[in-house]
Amino acid sequence: MHKFILLITLLSYLLCVESSRSVVYINRLNSWSPEGIPASIGVPGSATNSSYNVFNLAFWLSTGPVDSAEVWSNALHYTGTTNNPWGNTTQAIQSAWVRRYHSYGIKILVSAFGATEFPTTAGIDPVQCGTNLANFVLLNNLDGVDLDYEDSGALERGTGEAWLISITRTLRQRLPKEQGYIITHAPQSPYFMGAPKYPRGGYMNVHNEVGDLIDFYNIQFYNQGTSTYDTYETLFRTSNGWASRTAVKELISKGIPANKIIVGKPVTPSDADNTGYISLSQFSQILRTATADGWNSGFMGWQYTSDSDGNWSKTLSRALNNFHE
């Protein structure tokens, strides 16, 4: 009987993991050697086991891919042709890696912009940009796009919303949901404040217009100064500091579906520029409390190289699903 109960508990845990999101960004690589690259980008069988089921390669820019996205798009150049077990062309290598990801239930996306490029302020056309980004996905065997849009000045001027709406529609037209493509956004949490900080509504406007085209939001609950999001109260119930009404339940009350809110945090203190980091034990307890309170949508971590043994993700996944070993 004890073994039967344990088996049912384990199966329930696995089903919950499947329904929740464990997202991580890959920016830096731990190794640039041909054999170390697959491990550095989380390819199962090469990388340390973790619980992530969405990997975001960072970043794609309007001028082309950089960092891990550049490695992915030129895989043969970086892994070489000598005794390469993955294939003899970039397409073959990518396909072999994708098969590994998918066999473990993992999706592999490319993330665009980050804090490197502010496309609206730069005057980049959103339709052309979205077309180029979608083409990159299609040409590189990827499962979709994450828009890490951090053009705060454009949102404060009221020009960022229309740009985001336009590029999202362009991406979804080129990357249909019915074909399995994923489109996510990674807004900073204050972007949901609305007016007067964001006169055209910020991300509330974006969600109201194209939220049905967006699978979920990898929300950055960090690097926001006095809005620290460092307790259950300030992260889930009532935000503190300057970014008012941006805690998880406050976003839900504004109309953001609970299952689209992924809580993003730095993996280590060095992954944060200022506030928002919380220890693994504290984050784990916060997720347990949130799950008991009816929320278990998922977490996001910046960044993968800081979770070299996979412990951060595995601990949080157990907490998210209230699974006790």
**What pLDDT band is residue 104 in, cutting at 50, 70 and 90?**
very high
pLDDT given for residue 82 in this prediction: 86
pLDDT range class, residue 323, cuts 50, 70, 90:
low
CB contact burial 194-210 (16+ within 10 A = b; e otherwise)? beeebebbbbbbbbebb
> Do the beta carbons of residue 73 and residue 57 sit within 8 Å?
no
Report, as an integer, the average pLDDT of 235-256: 98
The residues spanned by each domain of the chain are: 23-320
Q: What is the pLDDT of residue 181?
A: 98
The b-or-e profile of 289-310 (16+ CB within 10 A means b, else e) is: ebbeeebbbbbbbbbbbbbeeb
Place of tokens 């065997």: 141
pLDDT value for 13: 38
Which residues is 299 bridged to in the sheet? Answer: 22, 263
φ and ψ of 109, to 5 deg: -120, 165
Instruction: Give me the residues paired with residue 264 across strands.
Output: 220, 300
Residue 109 has pLDDT above 90, yes or no: yes
> Is pLDDT of 96 > 60?
yes
Q: What pLDDT score was predicted for residue 11?
A: 40
pLDDT at 276 over 90: yes
Beta strands in the chain (DSSP E): 21-26, 54-61, 64-65, 107-114, 144-149, 182-185, 216-220, 261-266, 298-302
Structure tokens at 177: 């949901």
Closest C-alpha to 14, from 126, 105, 145, 143: 105
pLDDT at 67 over 60: yes
Q: How far apart are CA 92 and CA 76, in angstroms?
A: 9
In angstroms, the CA 263 to CA 222 distance is: 10
pLDDT (0 to 100) of residue 52: 98
Quickly state the pLDDT bin for 321 (edges 50, 70, 90): confident
Output the pLDDT for position 185. Answer: 98
Q: Report the C-alpha dihedral over residues 57, 262, 54, 124, rounded to 10 degrees.
A: -30
Number of H helices, E strands in the chain: 13, 9
Q: Tens of pLDDT along 123-163?
A: 999 999 999 999 999 999 999 999 999 999 999 999 999 99
The pLDDT value given to residue 291: 95
Question: DSSP letter at 233?
Answer: I
Predicted pLDDT of residue 7? 42
The enclosing H or E element of 76 equals helix 75-79
Query: pLDDT over 90 for what percent of the chain?
Result: 90
pTM: 0.93
Over residues 172-229, the pLDDT tens digits come to 999 999 999 999 999 999 999 999 999 999 999 999 999 999 999 999 999 999 999 9
The class that CATH gives domain 23-320 is alpha beta
CB 22 within 8 A of CB 53: yes
Half-sphere exposure of 151 (CA within 13 A, CB side): 22
- The DSSP secondary-structure symbol of 317 reads H
Does residue 83 surpass a pLDDT of 90? no
- Computed on alpha carbons and rounded to an integer, the radius of gyration of the chain in Å comes to 19
pLDDT at 10: 41
Q: What is the mean pLDDT of residues 38-67?
A: 97
Tokens standing for 95? 């396909």
